[in-house]
Amino acid sequence: MSELSSAQAAPGGSPMPEQAGEPWWKGAVIYQIYPRSYRDTTGDGIGDLNGICEKLDHVASLGVDAIWLSPFFTSPMDDYGYDVADYCGVDPIFGTLEDFDALVEKARRLGLKVIIDQVYSHTSDEHAWFTESRQDRANPKADWYVWADAKPDGSPPSNWQSVFGGPAWQWDGRRKQYYMHNFLTSQPDLNLHNRAVQDALLDAARFWLDRGVDGFRLDAINFAMHDPKLTDNPPSGLPMDKVTRPFDMQCHVNSMSQPQIPAFLERIRALLDTYGVRFTVAEVVGATPLGEMRAFTEGSKRLNSAYSFDFLYAKQLTVGTVESSLSAWGATVDEGWPSWAFSNHDAPRAISRWAGEHDKGQVARTLMLLLLSLRGNAFIYQGEELGLPQADVPFEALKDPEAIENWPNTLGRDGARTPMPWSDDVPFCGFSEVDAWLPVDPAHAGLSVARQEGDPGSCLNVTRALLKLRQSVPALRLGSQAFLHGSNTVLAFERRVENDLVVCAFNLGNVDASWRPAGEEGAWEILATQDGRAPTGAALPGRLVPWTGYWARARRTVSGGVSG
């Protein structure tokens, strides 16, 4: 096996290794909490802020750097919090502002940063801004939302389609105009071309920054602006077997993804910079997100990071999937820092999409090993540390409007939002004392936190071991990344910072595969496998069985790179 120069490595390496002394968020691991489903302390079957506070010790025990809270703001809950009725209020089902303050204070004591969602593309139709805006065409907030006249025949102003099905326009009898909604009809789109709207959103951001939050995840931020000319979207040309809704049949070049968005992001970044080191990450939804992700994070005046749905919507995990996603980052010095997620509240859990007939526990541990080895920030979704598969939610129990609309063509989002299983020997797995807002899947009981605590080989304890190890290895947290020549099923890459070099290898196929890095037998120290931290002196495996992997550290610097 000959060594491979950096120039020969597959694309995906950064131009130079990152150095120590970087901000706290760079290379961070962030744990996402979906408040409705984490822990119910009031007996209404819905999780709340006090429940999160109660379970923060569990989060801290994992070794993550921060938590990200999905929306807990005042809302009619048509879209379960992503339809905000008051940006500066806590919905009573979740608690009070004082409960939020207590949560932040406890997180501080445990060494955890707190990141919250901000939903800037739309509000609830119950927001006071929209209530005023819809009264007539001359009120002070008349142009705070996207309003347009009907065409002469009464049809909507453009052909734009909403994500949840049907036209992206709803007729309003008071103004005798249509208003735009990229999502539900009860989620009217804000007009962010209006500077006053931007100012109001920045005031809301300032409110939470003053309460001590450490950053924001910007929901669906590429939906935040539209083409003011209301130009029709062109057809996508997708074959019908790839279509689940009319939205899929268009290229959304005019209803979203406008070139003015980065200027608004610069205003957000300028505000956060006045509060010290804060973190911003964009959710970028769409078929071709890379250009926007780069534009949103370019230079030092925009967002810190962005993530797409490359992995979240992938039906299979392949070597090509990983290489194509990660190779897009690291090409220029002034681009942003990527973030990665395999599961979240908007997508079916990764294990159910990718494990196939393989042992789900082993796949879960291997996926955690892989996620924590990628260059960028890692997002762990609640329950991912337990290896939870997608829950089975019968049609009559569904709550998600998208899942109901597309039944049974998609797995939907409800199966990823079911309650966290804390214990297997109490009703409702310790989430609540009553029936939860979504049913607890009986299959999750055997994967509960209490059941896994005492098992050193459980997904929970492997996650803890891997996170602890990752924190101590500079190459894994901050290093550059370059792909190596594995095979069609073996994913291999190096992570490097200064003299610290780690090789990561994974068999994502269905049969055993041979691969090992260059160098003599004693040149590498196995740091970890999918079973956790490797014993001292463990030998480098010559073969990888399906859905296994390892991290191996060079005992001395291997000049230029490594190859299989």
Question: Annotated active-site positions, please?
Answer: 219, 283
If you search the block for the tokens 């463990």, which residue do you land on? 538
What single DSSP character describes residue 440?
A: P
Give the tokens for residue 481. 């990344």
Closest CA to 516 of 486, 547, 473: 486
Give 488: exposed, middle or buried? Use CB within 10 Å, 0-12, 13-18, 19+. Answer: exposed
d(CA 115, CA 104): 10
Closest CA to 306 of 385, 431, 242, 216: 216
* Paired sense of beta strands 113-118 and 66-69, if any: parallel
Convert 85-122 to b/e letters by CB count within 10 Å (16 or more is b): bbbeebbebbbeeebbeebbebbeeeebbbbbbbbbbb
Give the tokens for residue 273. 């910079």
* Paired sense of beta strands 86-90 and 73-74, if any: antiparallel
Closest CA to 116 of 48, 205, 54, 220: 205
d(CA 31, CA 53): 14
Phi, psi of 202 (to 5 degrees): -65, -35
Query: How big, in percent rounded to 5, are the helix, strand and coil portions of the chain?
Result: 30, 20, 55
Contact 197, 144 (CB under 8 A): yes
Give the tokens for residue 428. 């409702």
Furthest-apart CA pair in the chain: how many Å? 78
